[in-house]
A and B are shown apart, each in its own frame.
Chain A
């Protein structure tokens, strides 16, 4: 059974703070890692698709890095805004798996 972990479970930051959180996954047989943002009462929305060790992706104030050899990915948010409040999910797929395994998510609250 694949184990995908995310930390912290939840996070409260002030508007303007920068923050980051972690997704940990098995380091062997890596295939792909996705990051999703899930706002309350909405559906998960794709942020990044990461496939290569050392990948760095950026979308506005949000960026992500990938280390497949050690089995982790970081998501960074620079200058958090209240609209960044959401649950951030990572989803991991390995070579022998047919489906993506989702982590439990990090719930971010940005206080104005």
Chain B
């Protein structure tokens, strides 16, 4: 059973550019959440997708956008990159069973460096 897979693993971009990160959830999962983890910090919630719509969002600017496809995979897009966007981007998948103890499984992350 493949777990959560993310691509690419590493990426270097220039300030002002745009980037797209991809995530395939664990088999059977229908909900995808994205987190940003700056060096030495804990992950911070960016947003969550369910049924191809953004269901909730953390405190991130509109430069951060996403998409979920019918097969539940997801993309994270960041426009007008800033140096401060350099971080590990983590995708987490879970199953919306209506229960409050939804368990999230994380991918290995995409390390984005903005120069």
A binds B: no
A contacts, CB < 8 Å to B: none
